[in-house]
Structures are given as structure tokens and as C-alpha cells.
Chains A and B, each alone.
Chain A
Amino acid sequence: DQQVKQNSPSLSVQEGRISILNCDYTNSMFDYFLWYKKYPAEGPTFLISISSIKDKNEDGRFTVFLNKSAKHLSLHIVPSQPGDSAVYFCAASGGSNYKLTFGKGTLLTVNP
């Protein structure tokens, strides 16, 4: 039973364009959401997060949108750069225990 789903295994965009990565969740107890970026042979690196009391959080080129009614969040990267090429994991937490449940990840390739 996958509680956090990233249905696109891969995404390819041109440099300078927008990258949109999507994530769906099923557990209504989730109230905090994070995006991690992972390069090959490295651990995941925290990118941006959002609490369920917000519907948008922005940090430079990265914006996360949360639609609680649809149980959906998305990460927008504008403009996309070749260095953004990595696997992006969506993660969620909630309830009495702060632990992260991860999606399977989306491989983003930004072409020069």
C-alpha cells in the first residue's frame, strides 16, 4: 500500500523551461511534506517543504504547491538548469510520530 505516489518515473525538459514534478498521497493524517533531491552515489538532500496550513511555499527557483482536497502536491522549478538533473523524492509525515514516507522518485533530466 503506497501512501505517497510519484506516478512519473521520469521527466525531461529543456534548460530554461519549467519543470513540474507531481506527487499524490492517500493518508489524510499527513500534514508536512518535503521534497528531496538525490544525485547518483549521494544521499538525498533536502530541497523545500510545506506544512498543511499553507498551500504554497517558495524558495528561489523552487515552489511547492499543496492541494489538500485533492491530496496532491507539486514542485515547480523555474527556470530549469542542467544541474537540476537528479532524482526528486516527495516525502510526507504526520500523526504522532515524525517519520517520512517517501514516493519512488522522479528522474528529472534537464537538457542544455
Chain B
Amino acid sequence: EAGVAQSPRYKIIEKRQSVAFWCNPISGHATLYWYQQILGQGPKLLIQFQNNGVVDDSQLPKDRFSAERLKGVDSTLKIQPAKLEDSAVYLCASSLSERSGNTIYFGEGSWLTVV
């Protein structure tokens, strides 16, 4: 079974530039998550989708971050304009459903450096 796919793996941009990350979840998984992990911290949820609807985006900095999951499968996370503090690993994850008890599987992450 293929895992959660993410691209690009690594990205270096200058502050105020924009960047987009792509995620393809495990086939059949209805719930998709984007997490941000800053060095030395645990992953922090940015946004959660159930199919193509947003379930939770309370910690997404909406003035610069946006995410979509138009057809309920792939998802894109965009940052515009980027700030130095956005340097982090952006982890996409998926689970069968939003019901507690389902394992959440993570991709390898997209590593962003803002200079």
C-alpha cells in the first residue's frame, strides 16, 4: 500500500516569496491533515479536511497560509508571503476517517527554509 506522498521534499525561498506544497493521501482516506513542525517542537495541526470540507483550521495563519482539497483527494498548502518563522517541516497526514481510533499516517514531510 502506497503511503502519504508529499512534494517537494526540500525548498529554500527568500522571505516575502511564495511556496506551495502538495500532498496525496493514502487511497481511500477521507481525512487529511497538514501539520507544521518547527525544530525542537512537536507537530502542530494547521488544518484538517474531511473529504473536501474543512473541519478545523483554527491554528492556520490565514493572512498568509491557505490550503485546499478540491476533489477530496490531493491537497495543496500555500504560504504567501513567507516569513522567516515559517521555516519548518510541513507534514501531511491522512486517516480513514475523522473518528477517534483510526491511525493517522504521515508523509515524509516538506522541509522549508526561509532566508
Contacts and interface: CB of A to CB of B under 8 A. Distances in A.
Nearest to B109: A43
A43 B107 contact: yes
B51 to A, nearest CB: 14
B100 A89 contact: no
A51 B100 CA distance: 9
Given A102-B43, A104-B42, A105-B42, A43 B108 contact: yes
Q: How large is the interface on B (under 10, 10 to 19, 20 to 34, 35 or more residues)?
A: 20 to 34
Contacts of A43: 4, 91, 93, 106-109
Interface in A64-112: 89, 91, 93-94, 97-105
A99 B45 contact: yes
B74 interface: no
Given A43-B108, A105-B42, A98 B98 contact: yes
A30 B97 CA distance: 18
A91 to B, nearest CB: 8
A32 B44 contact: no
A6 B43 CA distance: 13
Contacts of B87: none
A38 to B, nearest CB: 9
Given A49-B103, A98-B31, A89 B108 contact: no
Interface string A19-56: 00000000000011010100001111110010100000
Nearest to A104: B42
15 contacts: A32-B100, A32-B101, A42-B109, A43-B91, A43-B106, A44-B91, A44-B106, A46-B105, A93-B100, A94-B100, A97-B55, A98-B95, A99-B56, A102-B44, A105-B42
Interface of B: 4, 31, 33, 40-45, 48, 55-56, 91, 93, 95, 97-109, 111
Closest 9 CB pairs of A and B: A102-B42, A43-B106, A43-B108, A98-B98, A98-B100, A32-B100, A44-B106, A43-B109, A102-B43
